[in-house]
Amino acid sequence: MGLIQNILAVIVVLGLLVTFHEYGHFWVARRCGVKVLRFSIGFGKPLWSRYDRHGTEFVIAAIPLGGYVKMLDEREAPVPENQLDQAFNRKNVWQRIAIVFAGPLANFLLAIVAYWALFVVGTTTVSPVIGAVEPESPAAHAGLQSGHEITAVQGEKVSSWGEINLKLVSAIGESGELVLQARQDIDQSARDYRLPVDDYLVRQDPPQPLSTLGITPWQPEFPPVLGQVLDGEAAAEAGLRPGDRIKAVNGEPVDDWMQFVNIVRGNPGESLSLEIERDGQRQSMTLTPGRTTLETGVEIGYIGAGVEPVSWPEEYRREIRYGPVEAVGQAFSRTGEMTLLTLGAIRKMLVGLISPSNLSGPITIAQVAGDSARTGVEAFITFLAYLSISLGVLNLLPIPVLDGGHLLYYFIEAVRGRPVSEQVQAIGLRIGLALVGSLMLMALYFDLMRLW
């Protein structure tokens, strides 16, 4: 069932992103007087198609991993004399730039609309209160303590752990000090805490922004009660069910969920004697955790079960909501912030500060899309917005075969007064295909390694 949900989620996500991207090209092309021959969502054999009154064929194809807008163009096929004025290649350079740029722009606009909707409807998060500070860590040296609520990172206000993580990830590679503002009580004013760092998060795979600083977020105690049990995994095979409370493992009492998790993780493939409470009755059973390997190469135990959710205390809950007008500015701000974060990540990956294994391909995208869909509408829309921004940024990279490569040629043409030669474009096309193909293969490789 999870696999089907992942597939459906990624089809929905990619379908929306591709549709908006290609519609951007389509809409501006029509406004510039270019005849659009086909608007296709997906590649391969058409599953559905129809023509509009302008003669454009709209297609939904069998392979839902992209799409394209095919325009009238003398470079691709002969154009009738009476339609030459509608050919893409006959338009002036600024019209061609507008048509090409419209695709990525549509992705940024989609992200803005998604964030605007979230800010208007409102989101509920938990306040970023520190639960524990590791001794001798950067946080401890700075004076941060359990109970402090972080209010700003590097001078920028934050209201959730998600925002804090984004700010910290953007600081990858920095040395010197990270400045966090925090307060002991909601009625007190915040003060600066300067955390010493050296090559912060460099080549960590994956980055651990909070634990590297020695900070553990506060969370309520989770009793050792199962909330979900996955079919076919070790917990289900042992006979565990949702609602079961773990009382003891190998005769040792278990008081909270993380204690049970640590026992499971530390005993891959080893038989554990459990004592559980079910419907008020105590039962004994044997559980043998499966084995899984982290990206660091460490093998841990895994049983395919999750904890029963608990309610956060009201004083730790924060609702973020804006009026329709104010939300516009917030949406633009968040989109700009995520765009800069993506560009920064690409730059740092190129110079070796971020491991290339952080690249994600279709398998990881499908998993994250499915997980966000199961988590709720808010998580799904947030993921959709970020993926839309990533698609827009990647398409603007100056690599031939991408929109950014075409824009590079057109800007050169605008400066020189004549087009880039077909020979140069052909060489660029081969280089671009090699680069994009290599990136796709790397992303797929790392996807498969994560699964393995």
Determine whether 190 is exposed, middle or buried from the number of CB atoms within 10 Å of its CB (0-12, 13-18, 19+). middle
CA dist 20 → 16, 17, 130, 338 (Å): 6, 5, 41, 19
Residue 239 φ then ψ, to 5°:
100, 10
Name, in order, each residue with C-beta under 8 angstroms of 56's C-beta and a sequence gap of 6 or more.
35, 36, 37, 38, 39
What are the structure tokens assigned to 20, written together?
A: 């908006």
Tokens read off for 166: 């984004």
Q: At what angle do helices 93-121 and 377-395 cross, to 10 degrees?
A: 160
Q: How far apart are CA 305 and CA 328, in angstroms?
A: 41
Q: How many C-beta neighbours within 10 Å does residue 398 have?
A: 15
Round to whole Å and give the CA distance between 6 and 152: 35
How many Cα atoms are found within 13 Å in the side-chain-facing hemisphere of 224? 23
Contact 153, 180 (CB under 8 A): yes
* Residue 209, burial from CB neighbour count under 10 angstroms (0-12, 13-18, 19+): buried
- Whole-angstrom CA distances from 417 to 100, 227, 230, 414 are 19, 67, 63, 5
Element (H, E) at 183: strand 176-183
Report the alpha-carbon distance of residue 168 to residue 208 in Å, rounded: 9
The residues carrying an active-site annotation are 22
- The C-alpha atoms of residue 210 and residue 171 are separated, in whole angstroms, by 12
Range 152-188 burial, b when 16+ CB lie within 10 A, else e: bbeeeebbbbebbbbbbbbebbbeeebebbbeeeeee
Q: Is-contact 409 420, C-beta < 8 A?
A: yes
